[in-house]
């Protein structure tokens, strides 16, 4: 049902006062969504024709694809597991990292690919075939249709000289490439390039040393990896594993002091070829979107975009931000269960709030990638994951 309400705008980040706004509620057994919009007619055409992908990491897990009016046009549920991360692939499928209740929040033990018709195209379970790695936080397909994922592994170090034990465990992260049968094709680990004994914060962070949380491709198909605990994004050669550069606090690039991010998620190259990150801002309790133009030769970074969320939408963990067009971006305040479309100045144009889903990210799907003939209407299809 769509309600037209007359009055002043709520004080949640919308700029100015408008005479009208829409509030739309779409109710399903799994979730309740509320939509607030200044003026539907003022939204970018690409956004009005597109969709937003959100999902729940908690059990029971749910994936929802929502249109501009807040209507859920596609959904999928799992009673036994949560969807830790979901990617809409170039093939028009959903690639999911799935984890049971006993898994850590960002960790999964099953890789699942779904078609929009509800078919299971691939399911790989840890411990079967060659799939033995601990997968967490992010997963995607490369141009060979191979699985690229973030991994973690534990190694033993003598930390007794700095307050630990003789046989202490340090959890570090890495990257794995697998074929669709789960067989390992390539592997990289942080332990090959950094020594935890040289990290002054290792005792504090040994259970989750660098906290890798996103992986994406640069324009040359090498990897961009975000490290939350390091406050950096690294470019890693997809063949040799060489660290090509480090960007952020203490990295290889010169950047303005006020644009140094302390923590970040969803690092990627946007359509303007800028490096874009969602800066959680845990040190100052306020989140923002940053985008930089990088010169890999001079190692200079130019701040091209800085868009703040209001304090009420601060997200200490998780979150994402993506350009929709030259003037708007879609930002996910995961901890607040809210997705907003803003202009570059941060003025709110559209807001979607979920009663239950704290989506790790919110991904925009353009209308030309999702047409009615490709998906079934929401029938709350379910996936059973047996551990």
25-54: pLDDT as tens digits: 344 445 689 999 989 999 999 999 999 999
Average pLDDT of the chain? 88
Query: What does the domain layout of the chain look like in residue ranges?
Result: 2-382
**Residue count of the chain:** 387
Mean pLDDT on 287-316 = 96
| Residue 348 pLDDT exceeds 50 | yes
| Residue 259 pLDDT exceeds 50 | yes
Q: What integer pLDDT is reported at residue 100 of this predicted model?
A: 87
Q: Are 333 and 313 in contact (CB under 8 A)?
A: yes
pTM, to two decimals: 0.88
3-class DSSP state for residue 259?
helix
Mean pLDDT on 56-61 = 92
Q: What integer pLDDT is reported at residue 18 of this predicted model?
A: 28
3-class DSSP state for residue 374?
helix
Q: Are 317 and 332 in contact (CB under 8 A)?
A: no
3-class DSSP state for residue 299?
coil
DSSP H/E element including 200: none
In sequence order, the β-bridge partners of residue 283 are none
Tokens for 265, please give them. 């998620």
Instruction: Report how far residue 89's alpha carbon sits from residue 53's, in angstroms, rounded to the nearest whole number.
Output: 12
| Residue 106 pLDDT exceeds 50 | yes
Side by side, the strands of the sheet bearing 107-108 are 107-108, 134-141, 147-157, 168-178, 184-189
Q: What integer pLDDT is reported at residue 25 of this predicted model?
A: 35
| Residue 14 pLDDT exceeds 80 | no
Q: What integer pLDDT is reported at residue 2 of this predicted model?
A: 29
Confidence of residue 374 (pLDDT cuts 50, 70, 90): low
Q: By mean pLDDT, which of 85-94, 102-111, 268-277, 299-308 is the weakest? A: 102-111
Confidence of residue 370 (pLDDT cuts 50, 70, 90): confident
Q: Are 236 and 256 in contact (CB under 8 A)?
A: no
Q: Nearest 10 degrees: CA dihedral of 236, 187, 364, 311?
A: -70
Instruction: Report how far residue 283's alpha carbon sits from residue 368's, in angstroms, rounded to the nearest whole number.
Output: 40
**Backbone φ, ψ for residue 108 (5° rounding):** -135, 165
Please identify, in words, the CATH class of the domain defined by 2-382: mainly beta
3-class DSSP state for residue 279?
strand
């Amino acid at each position: 049902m769509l309600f037209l309400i007359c009055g002043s705008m709520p004080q949640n980040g919308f700029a100015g006062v408008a005479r009208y706004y829409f509030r739309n509620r779409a109710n399903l057994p799994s979730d309740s969504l509320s939509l607030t919009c200044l003026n539907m007619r003022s939204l970018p055409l690409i956004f009005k024709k597109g969709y937003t992908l959100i999902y729940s990491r908690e059990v029971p897990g749910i994936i929802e694809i929502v249109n501009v009016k807040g209507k859920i046009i596609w959904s999928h549920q799992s009673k036994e597991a949560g969807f830790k991360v979901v990617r809409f692939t170039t093939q028009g499928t959903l690639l999911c990292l799935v984890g049971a209740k006993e898994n850590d929040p960002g960790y999964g033990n099953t890789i699942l690919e779904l078609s929009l018709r509800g078919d299971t195209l691939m399911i790989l379970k840890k411990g079967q075939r060659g799939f033995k790695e601990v997968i967490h936080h992010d997963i995607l397909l490369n141009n060979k249709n191979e699985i690229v994922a973030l991994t973690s592994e534990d190694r033993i170090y003598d930390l007794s000289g700095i307050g630990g034990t003789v046989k202490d465990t340090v959890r570090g992260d890495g990257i794995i490439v697998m074929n669709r049968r789960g067989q390992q094709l390539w592997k990289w680990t942080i332990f090959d390039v950094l020594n935890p004994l040289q990290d002054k914060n290792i005792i504090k962070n040994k259970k989750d040393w660098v906290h890798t949380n996103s992986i994406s491709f640069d324009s040359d198909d090498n990897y961009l990896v975000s490290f939350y605990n390091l406050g950096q994004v690294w470019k890693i050669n997809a063949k040799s594993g060489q660290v090509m550069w480090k960007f952020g606090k203490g990295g290889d690039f010169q950047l303005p002091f006020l644009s140094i991010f302390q923590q970040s998620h969803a690092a990627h190259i946007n359509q303007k070829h800028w490096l874009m990150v969602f800066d959680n801002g845990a040190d100052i309790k306020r989140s923002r979107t940053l985008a930089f133009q990088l010169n890999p030769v001079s190692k200079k970074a130019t701040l091209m975009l800085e868009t703040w969320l209001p304090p009420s939408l601060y997200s200490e963990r998780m979150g994402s931000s993506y350009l929709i067009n030259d003037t708007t971006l879609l930002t996910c305040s995961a901890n607040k269960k809210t997705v907003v479309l803003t202009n570059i100045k941060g003025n709110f144009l559209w807001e979607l709030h979920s009663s239950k889903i704290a989506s790790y990210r919110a991904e925009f799907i353009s209308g030309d990638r999702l047409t009615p003939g490709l998906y079934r209407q929401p029938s709350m299809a379910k996936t059973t994951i047996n551990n």
